[in-house]
A = this chain, B = another copy of it.
Amino acid sequence: MHRDNLLPLLLKTEITMSNYTPLSEVGEFGLIKLIKEKVDLQHESSVLGIGDDAAIIEPHEKQIVVSTDMLLEGVHFDLTFCPLKHLGYKAIAVNVSDIAAMNATPTQVTVSIALGARYTVEAVEELYEGIRLACENYKVDLIGGDTTSSRAGLVISVTAIGEVPKGEAVRRSGAQVNDLICVTGDLGAAYLGLQVLEREKQAFMANPEMQPELEEKQYIIGRQLRPEARMDVIHDLKERDIKPTAMIDVSDGLASELFHICKQSGVGATIYKDNLPADEQMLETALEFNLDPITCIMNGGEDYELLFTVPLADYDKVKNHPDISIIGKITEASEGINLANKHGQAFPLQAQGWAHF
């Protein structure tokens, strides 16, 4: 498995934020200096990083891809069970995932943070340690950002930049009738990881003496707290000489992403229920919570796997990849978007995704 085992220390973040050095002691410039000291530029294309009005990139005849995501405390994360280090890692990973979904290589990121008054220098260092780790893993340079204060919770805004040779970018709009629909890894685990964390938080609040029982849920909790972008698969596809016809990352849930591909490509799709990739721990936990595993897989979200389509002729190239499942096929738009069972019965899919508002 490409993911680390990890056991988050529930409520560790709360402890980190008391005592220690207040931000007012170092000020904004001190904070920027502290961040800058931990940054090494690796890419030849990173000409100038943190410390001027803007960073400079030299693209060397490649196309540039740009993606941006904003994460807010209380909306996208809960610091009572999300350690700051994991949060920093996740903020980078989810943006790199968007770059991967363009079939591009991530090269640079900018990170802006707004911090409440209760934050300490140590808390910010922990956050940036996660950011640094992710930058190292995905080989991206932190080239700039903004640091400011927040009257409410923590806000993190990341812009990721990548490069791709001209003609190699993969959009959502290229899926063709009879293409195979593929997905990486397994789905639904991040959503169920969140359910477990929410449950343990409630239990802890009812009885602070309680020790959270997370040992058996390591995998699904890790999927929620520290997802990985599937750059490994992007490299594998290149090695196998596969260029997807359409691609998107699974952030809002498989159904929602499939609707994007079908709408933008002007096609329909049939997904085979039995081919959907599921982890054992996810399945057990779904039962524990009385949730339908297929709903968790289709609409759970935050898996950050890649959903892509390839020509039927590439079947032999993808079929034996240990981390790719062939889950369906692209059809005429008139056939709609359906979920089929092993008896050949098909039911129209609903895209739920996240309702932000």
Contact = CB atoms under 8 A, between A and B. Distances in A.
A69 interface: yes
Contacts of A5: none
Interface stretch (A95-103, A288-296, A313-321): A95-103
A56 interface: yes
A28 B353 CA distance: 10
A28 B354 contact: yes
Contact of A102 (B54, B63, B248): B54
Interface residues of A, number: 76
A148 B68 contact: no
A155 B155 contact: yes
A149 B356 contact: yes
Nearest to A30: B357
Contacts of A73: 151
A225 B73 CA distance: 28
A70 B152 contact: no
A54 B104 contact: yes
Interface of A: 22-24, 27-29, 31, 47-48, 51-59, 61, 63-70, 72-76, 98-99, 101-102, 104, 108, 110, 112-115, 117, 143-153, 155, 157, 159-162, 164, 166, 169, 171-173, 247-249, 264, 353-357
29 contacts: A27-B356, A28-B354, A28-B355, A48-B169, A51-B172, A52-B171, A52-B172, A52-B173, A52-B264, A53-B101, A53-B248, A54-B99, A54-B104, A55-B65, A55-B66, A56-B63, A57-B64, A59-B59, A59-B64, A67-B144, A70-B114, A72-B114, A72-B150, A75-B150, A114-B155, A117-B357, A149-B357, A152-B152, A152-B153
Given A54-B98, A72-B150, 5 more contacts: A28-B356, A56-B164, A57-B65, A59-B64, A70-B114
